[in-house]
A and B are shown apart, each in its own frame.
Chain A
């Protein structure tokens, strides 16, 4: 059974904007699925609909066969959700945060204490368990939040921008933690992000969103292959032989290539055999960003709105 099926989902806020405009996709049990898109593309809205926080204007959403909104109660028992904004209670200790979450998911007093302690050990937060969460670093808070979302062993974990506002070191730690968690529990993970590197690094499959619609879905490799912006850039002295699709750019020879690193030696040999001298050699790999630009139709920075920038900085400040 697929973990999630979404068909023709539409969500309109009040009488205003259509945030999600007819989206359909399925997510298999056990995969890490990424929703990638610029701010305002509708990623968070889709997550909120799947996690029972919002009701769809139109369309059908099922989680392991449970239909929204009829089976919301069953769905809530199956999912864990870590919102984009800091959701741990800053005034409570790490242990207390976990304890309250465990109780909210129906665990009794003794059981709740045991689960909280287990999770603290798994998160390597045991030494900090009696410190209030506001003294935690950004990475520690994210781990605590993920732990809180997992006290009931959910089958699906939703992470909305899991590394927003984190420094590069903390970001790598959170990535490693998510992957380790996924290996151990075999659960399905759904991530929204607007960091290309994050999506490339973590996700089995990615849906690229653009203004309320899904532009394309595929594995990171498939998406990159579908754009193929890779190239070999050579500084050459002498007259090169005719190479199909090659061009001169700023005094360099540019040769499009699907796999530039592997094709480079062949071209060097060819040029040398034709009496050319190689002055410099560079390669340009296709990145997920190239795929993003093609499908979302814009570079991510250009889409940033003032409100979302402010929000992101606020999160960053609170987590610092």
Chain B
């Protein structure tokens, strides 16, 4: 019979697979690093200069930097389901499914595989943001290295949650085109109804309500606390919501996973 130790090893093996894939081809990470910088330097600068949005005592550029990081992570992970469909269309997924591993550990392993890519992406983006903060006076972030390092586990969690949504799409829609389409459909609403670009308080009530059920809001809250404000009073709630969301989504994926082979 299966046991916990085996299942943990299976999860780690699937993550290792992704890390090895990434090691052989990381152009994706380099190319994707450009977009967040454009967001920050163009969008961020314009909004910052005009003081359109009340961001408390912080410059808009500083306020939006953690949001841009969250966006970069979201974009890496939200299309992860397409890779799963690709794995299904080649024989890769079949090979995983005939191995003695539970469907749940496969799903969890795949969710955190997205985190592997997201971490690589985050390291690049955070480094670029920190470098920019040396030259651009409008960006001043936390100078506590422990807090900056702590953003990485948060990145892991945000990526796993976004990937779980994407994998659920993959198990439901099953073709690359549809998973791509629904990923596109979801990305911007998730991004815009979170606190990534502006504080929740300035949104109309119905968008505030959407922001509260949007897992990205909780991820951004953690990142902003660590990178900017140092305010971690909501940290437990944030982590709890993200973990809860991941648990529910991955259980749903597990239940639907056999659909992938039908």
Contacts and interface: CB of A to CB of B under 8 A. Distances in A.
A79 interface: yes
Contacts of A85: 89-91, 94
Contact of A91 (B10, B24, B258): B24
A89 B100 contact: no
Given A76-B99, A92-B21, A53 B94 contact: yes
Contact of B100 (A48, A81, A83, A105): A105
Nearest to B17: A100
Contacts, number: 80
A259 interface: no
A14 B261 CA distance: 12
B90 A86 contact: yes
A106 B262 CA distance: 27
A89 B99 CA distance: 15
A96 B98 contact: no
A176 B175 CA distance: 37
B96 interface: yes
B95 A101 contact: yes
A85 B2 CA distance: 28
B13 interface: yes
Interface string B176-191: 0000000000000000
Interface string B86-122: 0001111011111111000000000000000000000
B42 to A, nearest CB: 34
Contact of A100 (B1, B16, B91, B97): B16
B100 A100 contact: no
Contacts of B1: 73
B95 A148 contact: yes
Nearest to B98: A81
A228 interface: no
Contacts of B20: 91-92, 96, 100
Interface in B1-18: 1-2, 6, 9-10, 13, 16-17
Interface in A58-89: 73, 76-77, 79-87, 89
B24 A76 contact: no
A80 B99 CA distance: 8
Contact of A106 (B9, B91, B258): B9
A50 to B, nearest CB: 10
A55 interface: yes
Interface in A137-188: 145, 148-149
Contacts of B13: 100, 103-104
Contact of B25 (A77, A86, A91, A106): A91
Contacts of A101: 95, 99
B91 A86 contact: yes
A54 interface: yes
Nearest to B24: A91
A103 B91 CA distance: 18
A87 B94 contact: yes
B95 A87 contact: yes
Contacts of B16: 100, 103
Given A53-B94, A86-B90, A91-B21, A106 B261 contact: no
Contacts of B91: 82-87, 145
A110 B95 CA distance: 22
Given A73-B100, A104-B99, A106-B9, A92 B89 contact: no
Contact of B10 (A13, A53, A81, A104): A104
B261 A87 contact: no
Contacts of B90: 85-87, 318
A119 to B, nearest CB: 15
A105 B17 CA distance: 14
17 contacts: A52-B98, A53-B97, A54-B258, A54-B261, A73-B100, A80-B98, A81-B94, A81-B95, A84-B91, A85-B90, A85-B94, A91-B24, A92-B21, A101-B95, A103-B16, A104-B10, A106-B100
Would you list the 3 A-B pairs with minimal beta carbon distance, nearest first? A87-B91, A83-B91, A85-B91
